[in-house]
A and B are shown apart, each in its own frame.
Chain A
Amino acid sequence: MTDIVIVGAGASGGAAAWRLARAGFKVTCLEQGGWVAPDATPSLRPDWEIARQTTHHPNPNVRAAPQDYPVDDTDAAIKPFLYNAVGGSTILWGAHFPRFRPSDFRTKTLDGVGDDWPISYEDLAPYYAENDRMMGVSGLSGDPGNPPREARQMPPVPPGKAGVRMAQAFDRLGWHWWPADVAINTQPYGEGRGACNNCGPCDLGCPHGARSATDVSYWPQAIAAGVRLITGARVFDVETDAQGRATGVAWYDHTGTVQRTKAAVVALASNGLGTARLMLLSTSKRFPNGLANDTDLVGRRLMHHPTGMVTGRFTEAMDGWAGPFAVSILSQEFYETDPTHDFVRGYQMQLIRSDGPVGTAVGGYLPRVPWGAGHHARFREVFGHSASLTVTTEDLPRLENRVTLSDHLTDSNGIPAPKMTYSLDDNTKRMIQHGIKSATRAFAEAGAADITAQSLVADAGFHLLGTACMGADPGSSVTDSNSRAHTVPNLLILDGSVFTTAAALNPTSTIQALALRAADALIRDRAEMQVAS
């Protein structure tokens, strides 16, 4: 019997495991993937851009590694991106590390849409700060777009030529911009973690540990604090007693043998897709529709950050292959609701650097370089000459966007795969169009020679949120403000499933801050906790 079993060793699982173990909890973490060796990164190999399309593809359906589970995405306008390993999806992430704005927690009160969170920015602020210290954040104080806070641990990442150019354009337009907050070391920081050398493809892993993934930030410290981390462990059921209290989990080990771990508290940290899947799989007499699913909200309200993309090509070389590819500067000029817009809420624009030779030729930010007589001339024009602005929008929760169980796909253990059903609403579509106009204007101001837009990037389902939402009312939410299931008092949900609304920015610093807060509440309430007898 362990005090707590955590399912998933990713961003949230790592943070909570560390916090709880330091407070004296006996913590077991079950993770279906294994450890990823830092020196196994393909960015040390000449075929690194091929690995990006295959073994390191962020879509589990393309990668199809043994530890992956497939995702039925036939009815999903946005495709799932995630990774299954110690470190979870942070193994592949770009490491943007913004915080929510205060208004993000109050969309109902301020704008009459979505729902208010049962907590505020102020409630989360100390946990954001603690998490920043653990992950290591590079950035700059003084951003007028966000409340004042503690100094970041390190100075911002280099903006590159395109970053400088776009910053000047934003200044001329009178628009907000700021160096991005990123979980990438610009100086050595943390245990044995070096500084970024601007290699580019952070998504392939970082042999210097400069990009903070939880396998190099939280996990070494969590294990030192006594956490028992079992890899190759795929959980398929959260078991409950007759009163509906969690008693532990059942899982397959790497040989396919069923194992059981009994625990006083069960915590799910399997991300917005994996956690919803596991809750729906965990049916019982008390919960015939899935664990803690009396409200039929488990799996519903799935939110992403629907993303448009605008790319500017400059006649001058921008050397966009250098520097962490996803992060540089960003603009939150259109972040808050503005009554003159034809949509509510808002979006941010993040400047992305450009691709390597293969990525440029195959196409991504820009259309594919055509084959044939003009191939080499076009390659010369575009390679290293572009930069892109994402239009990252706030996705409002809708019941019909959801995770269910696939009726035909299973993983290698025969466990039903999750199915994503997802479409965009008109508010989001209008927001993306506005964002495309804004980003186009910014590139024109910066002197781009030509500008190309994509109105929806389908390969952008990396933020999986809202599928077991947090709320004050047990009738319209799955967990309380401490991430504890309303109907299963000893079940915690630690990942982005608990998001009440999604904001318009990368979620992981908020996911981890919530996980630390949930852990603290558990530590505080340990004596009164109702556990299975």
Chain B
Amino acid sequence: MSAMLDTMIPGDADFPAASAIGLHDALTTHDRFAAPYAAITALLPDGFDALSAKDKEAALTDLERQSPAEFNALTVGAYSLYYTHPQVAAVIEALTGHTARPPQPAGHPLEPFDPAMVAVPAARGPLYRPTPEAKDV
């Protein structure tokens, strides 16, 4: 089964492959994602593991075409569990600065709004249409 997940998420110099973070086990035990995972693995052609990388991709492309709903659910599950794995989060932090922790309670630093930004639009006259009862309020 790892061969299928590694075809989908193969890993590279920075990112781990699906099998390196135990994605198979995580999917098998997940209350929502286990079912589509089982459904797609049941449809894999015999001898899938022995296929070349190119043929594995082709076989999965066929499966995606034949069972779009289940394949979609599996992809959502695989991506969800892969990208919430601490090892993957750490890679993302190293590459992008997106911290490998939940958004709260610390949040993220951001430059405050600079009122000088609005110089151009502020110089324009009123853009809203007058109505019969228009007056300043």
User: A142-B122, A164-B117, A199-B103 known; A322 and B108 CB under 8 Å?
Assistant: yes
User: A157's closest neighbor in chain B, by CB?
Assistant: B113
Q: How many residues of B contact A (CB 8 A)?
A: 61
13 A-B residue pairs with CB within 8 Å: A50-B84, A122-B135, A147-B134, A147-B136, A148-B136, A167-B117, A171-B120, A198-B110, A369-B79, A371-B8, A371-B9, A372-B57, A375-B9
Chain A: minimal CB distance from B37 (Å): 14
Chain B 54-89, CB-CB to A under 8 Å as 1, else 0, gives 000100100000000000000110111011101011
Q: A37–B42 Cα gap in the complex (Å)?
A: 42
Q: A44–B108 Cα gap in the complex (Å)?
A: 13
State which of B108, B117, B130, B137 has its C-beta within 8 Å of the C-beta of A198: B108
User: A50-B84, A142-B122 known; A201 and B103 CB under 8 Å?
Assistant: yes
The answer to whether A47 and B84 touch across the interface, beta carbons within 8 angstroms, is yes
A362 touches B (CB below 8 Å)? yes
User: A142-B118, A372-B57 known; A48 and B128 CB under 8 Å?
Assistant: no
The answer to whether A140 and B115 touch across the interface, beta carbons within 8 angstroms, is yes
A319 touches B (CB below 8 Å)? yes
The answer to whether B128 and A160 touch across the interface, beta carbons within 8 angstroms, is no
Q: Which residues of B contact A531 (CB under 8 A)?
A: none
User: A49-B80, A125-B137, A142-B122 known; A321 and B98 CB under 8 Å?
Assistant: yes
The answer to whether A144 and B84 touch across the interface, beta carbons within 8 angstroms, is no
Q: A457–B101 Cα gap in the complex (Å)?
A: 30
Q: Which residues of B contact A376 (CB under 8 A)?
A: 10-12, 14-15
Chain A: minimal CB distance from B4 (Å): 10
Which residues of A from 335 to 372 have beta carbons under 8 Å from B? Answer: 335-337, 356-358, 361-362, 368-369, 371-372
State which of B79, B106, B113, B130 has its C-beta within 8 Å of the C-beta of A197: B106
Q: Which residues of B contact A106 (CB under 8 A)?
A: 131-132
B41 touches A (CB below 8 Å)? no
State which of A110, A157, A317 has its C-beta within 8 Å of the C-beta of B129: A110
The answer to whether B89 and A46 touch across the interface, beta carbons within 8 angstroms, is yes
B47 touches A (CB below 8 Å)? no
Q: Which residues of A contact B35 (CB under 8 A)?
A: none
Q: How many residues of A contact B (CB 8 A)?
A: 81
Q: Which residues of B contact A50 (CB under 8 A)?
A: 80, 84
The answer to whether A373 and B89 touch across the interface, beta carbons within 8 angstroms, is no
Task: List 4 other contacts, CB 8 Å, given A147-B126, A336-B129.
Answer: A45-B102, A102-B128, A177-B121, A357-B92
User: A48's closest neighbor in chain B, by CB?
Assistant: B102
A243 touches B (CB below 8 Å)? no
The answer to whether B127 and A158 touch across the interface, beta carbons within 8 angstroms, is no
The answer to whether B102 and A358 touch across the interface, beta carbons within 8 angstroms, is no
User: A144-B126, A147-B136, A332-B127 known; A198 and B107 CB under 8 Å?
Assistant: yes
Q: Which residues of B contact A170 (CB under 8 A)?
A: 121
Chain B: minimal CB distance from A252 (Å): 29
The answer to whether A155 and B113 touch across the interface, beta carbons within 8 angstroms, is yes
User: B74's closest neighbor in chain A, by CB?
Assistant: A371
Number of A-B residue pairs at CB separation under 8 A:
198
State which of B95, B108, B125, B129 has its C-beta within 8 Å of the C-beta of A199: B108
Q: Which residues of B contact A155 (CB under 8 A)?
A: 112-113, 115
The answer to whether A323 and B79 touch across the interface, beta carbons within 8 angstroms, is no
Most B C-beta atoms less than 10 A away, residue of A103, A146, A149, A362: A362
Chain A 371-388, CB-CB to B under 8 Å as 1, else 0, gives 111011101100110000
Q: A120–B134 Cα gap in the complex (Å)?
A: 9
B96 touches A (CB below 8 Å)? yes
The answer to whether B131 and A103 touch across the interface, beta carbons within 8 angstroms, is yes
Q: Which residues of A contact B11 (CB under 8 A)?
A: 376
A43 touches B (CB below 8 Å)? yes
State which of B112, B115, B127 has its C-beta within 8 Å of the C-beta of A145: B127
Chain A: minimal CB distance from B96 (Å): 5
A156 touches B (CB below 8 Å)? yes
Q: Which residues of A contact B122 (CB under 8 A)?
A: 142, 144
The answer to whether A362 and B137 touch across the interface, beta carbons within 8 angstroms, is no
B104 touches A (CB below 8 Å)? yes
The answer to whether A160 and B110 touch across the interface, beta carbons within 8 angstroms, is yes
Q: Which residues of B contact A357 (CB under 8 A)?
A: 83-84, 88-89, 92, 98
User: A164's closest neighbor in chain B, by CB?
Assistant: B117
Q: Which residues of B contact A142 (CB under 8 A)?
A: 118, 122
Q: A357–B99 Cα gap in the complex (Å)?
A: 11
Chain B: minimal CB distance from A501 (Å): 13
The answer to whether A371 and B75 touch across the interface, beta carbons within 8 angstroms, is yes
Q: A178–B121 Cα gap in the complex (Å)?
A: 7
Q: A319–B111 Cα gap in the complex (Å)?
A: 12
State which of B7, B86, B98, B106 has its C-beta within 8 Å of the C-beta of A384: B98
